[in-house]
Structure 1
Amino acid sequence: MVLVQYSESESESESESDSEPVHASQPPAKRLCTTKPSPTQQSLPLPPLPAAFHDLYASSTRVSVRDDPSLHGGRKRVIPHVEGNWPTHLYLEWYASKTELTLLSDVILQIQQKLLHGSKTELHSLLHSDLGAQLPLHISLSRPVVLRTEQRQPFLEAFQSAMEQSHCAPFDTTADSVDCVSNYEKTRWFYVLRVRSPEHDELNRLLKLSNRALARFGQPPLYEVAVPPSLSPRLGNDSAAKKTRVTKPAEENDYSHCFHVSLAWSLTEPSAAEKEQLATTDLHKLRDLKIGFDCVKVKIGNQIFSNSLA
């Protein structure tokens, strides 16, 4: 390689002439970094994430193919992993604002204080994940049930059709009291915020839609009282139908006192005295809190389908 010497005047003139093209060819991001934003630009808040974004990342990464409670805070899986089975859940989802999260955190703190000194109950908040990410809260419209692979699409279509015919509109509800309820297996206890019945009884209406749709696929209802098979009418010769529990018509029942939002959970049941103390939780700061819903979520496996209310 031959080195060519240039005079200082030549190098200076070339560098000056080249300075503008080099600056112009810089990526836009680099040029923007040198521009100071105006006060108006600095005060603009970030736009909210679209509602569908949360559905894309609602399922956590599976870290084990076996049920290992040590990986989940001691929790035991209610529905085991079986090929061809799809855990299914119907619910109303609520993403609380920062202000609302502060109020709910205060409620959890009160619950912790209501537990008697020396209690073995360890509370786990449902407001945030272990990494500090906000978690959605919900009101259940079904138990955790299981659909077979061939049932997924027919069930989804049946439920969506029922929702369209119901003409159920978006609605709000409000907090009523604090309580403790267990899951059906008595393996976990949830500290919940019970809610009041909305103006047009939308919670009971949506529960009936859910229970009817699930009953068509041999799944148990939520909250309804099941009639023992020996007392149920004849179900024909279908062996699958014979195993299905018959429930009282949903129209006869009002479950307004059952609906709730879970705030925290524990692996141990609180004592009777502690449950009485929960009823004295001060909720006056929540009297103006409106919990709004505009869609019903159907989670089948790790997929979530959002069904808008009319």
Structure 2
Amino acid sequence: MLVGYSSSSEDDESEAGGDAAAKSGSKSCPRKCQEEEDGHSCSPVRKKPKTEEGVTKARLPLPGCLLAMFPDEVDPDTEDSCIHGGRIRSFKHERGNWATYVYLPYHPEDEFKELLEELLSAAGTCGVALTSQEEFHLSLSQTVVLRHHWIQPFTQSLKAGLANSKRFVCSAGRLKVYCNAEKTRTFLGMEVCTGNVQLLDLVQVVDKTMTEFRLDTFYKDPSFHVSLAWCVGDKTAQMEDCIQELQRLVEQHEEGPFVLRLDCVELRCRTGNKTFCFPLKQ
């Protein structure tokens, strides 16, 4: 997709080479005429262009303005799992394909952050090194692939479907272990205990849009949750061994059992590096 860009110096050098050849030809003219008079036919000696002399041409760097025009292009090095904490893509990146998912954002409070630190420490004591999520959300779709030209109609379809969806509150308080289908990552999540009916209604709207674009719909019997932390590989067994100890930390928090409260006022769709927001009705 990137527009090819080459230095104008290449053209300049070609023109310079042509001038040199012309000059060389003009200098050899008397000799050529003399050779023809002597009955001999030979071509004048031409100076080799710079490219034939093995001279390497320096190409100008691609201007930053052009690079900024294509934010969805990913450098091949970004496929290296080493620079992503060992995480592996569920599907290989291809130009023009945008990873897309729909979710409800969760904005953590200080109490949540303190609890999370305790959970990470306790899991480490049990031999499982967890990494905190960079941001927290409740998924309402699987991660699917959108072509770039689908983004606008896809988000318009979501907006139309959510026109009558109302705000609500859901809560979570029970820890649960999750592992992705590829068995490449294990998650510690907090499962929703209230608000499931409203969440299922939202999933129906999202699934309708997914079906329109022939994309995978959500799980048939979803376990709605907010992922707290993750680790590489399938560590389900190790996590299950210490889940009761972690749950005890939730139940015996400083000010009583911790309950994660999620105010569902806005649904979001992230596709590539773009985020679309859909406020719910009051």
TM-score, normalised via structure 2 length: 0.65
Deviation at 1:289, TM superposition (A): 4.0
Letter matched to residue 189 of structure 1: T
For the 8 Å contact 2:183–2:233, the answer to whether it is kept is no
Show the counterpart of 1:101: 113
Show the counterpart of 1:178: 175
Deviation at 1:223, TM superposition (A): 1.0
Aligned pairs for 1:60-209 within 5 A: 65-113=77-125, 115=126, 119=127, 121-126=128-133, 135-164=134-163, 167-198=164-195, 201-209=197-205
Show the counterpart of 1:248: none
Deviation at 1:208, TM superposition (A): 1.4
Show the counterpart of 1:214: 210
Deviation at 1:279, TM superposition (A): 4.0
Deviation at 1:293, TM superposition (A): 2.2
Consecutive unaligned residues of structure 2, counting only runs of 5 or more, are 1-70
Deviation at 1:176, TM superposition (A): 2.9
For the 8 Å contact 1:192–1:264, the answer to whether it is kept is yes
Deviation at 1:69, TM superposition (A): 0.6
For the 8 Å contact 1:122–1:267, the answer to whether it is kept is no
Aligned pairs for 1:280-291 within 5 A: 280=245, 281-282=247-248, 283-284=250-251, 285=253, 286-291=257-262
Show the counterpart of 2:275: 304
For the 8 Å contact 1:93–1:137, the answer to whether it is kept is yes
Is residue 268 of structure 1 aligned with residue 200 of structure 2?
Answer: no
CA–CA distance in structure 2, aligned partners of residues 101 and 273 of structure 1? 23
Deviation at 1:90, TM superposition (A): 0.5
Q: Residue 217 and residue 262 in structure 1: after superposition, are their counterparts in 2 closer, same or farther (change >3 A)? A: same
Q: Residue 204 and residue 110 in structure 1: after superposition, are their counterparts in 2 closer, same or farther (change >3 A)? A: farther
Q: Residue 272 and residue 79 in structure 1: after superposition, are their counterparts in 2 closer, same or farther (change >3 A)? A: closer
Deviation at 1:213, TM superposition (A): 0.9
CA–CA distance in structure 1, aligned partners of residues 261 and 190 of structure 2? 13
1:294 to 265, 269, 273: 265
CA–CA distance in structure 2, aligned partners of residues 260 and 97 of structure 1? 17
Consecutive unaligned residues of structure 1, counting only runs of 5 or more, are 1-58, 127-134, 225-253
Deviation at 1:87, TM superposition (A): 1.1
Letter matched to residue 174 of structure 1: S
Count of aligned pairs between the two proteins: 205
TM-score, normalised via structure 1 length: 0.60
Q: Which has the larger radius of gyration?
A: 2
Deviation at 1:81, TM superposition (A): 2.1
Deviation at 1:168, TM superposition (A): 2.4
CA–CA distance in structure 1, aligned partners of residues 188 and 99 of structure 2? 23
Q: Which runs of 4+ in 1 moved over 6 A?
A: none
Deviation at 1:110, TM superposition (A): 3.4
CA–CA distance in structure 1, aligned partners of residues 236 and 181 of structure 2? 18
Percentage of identical aligned residues: 27
CA–CA distance in structure 1, aligned partners of residues 124 and 263 of structure 2? 27
Q: Residue 142 and residue 151 in structure 1: after superposition, are their counterparts in 2 closer, same or farther (change >3 A)? A: same
Aligned pairs for 1:222-241 within 5 A: 222-224=218-220
Is residue 259 of structure 1 aligned with residue 230 of structure 2?
Answer: no
Q: Which has the higher contact order (CA 8 A, sep 6+)?
A: 1
Deviation at 1:124, TM superposition (A): 1.2
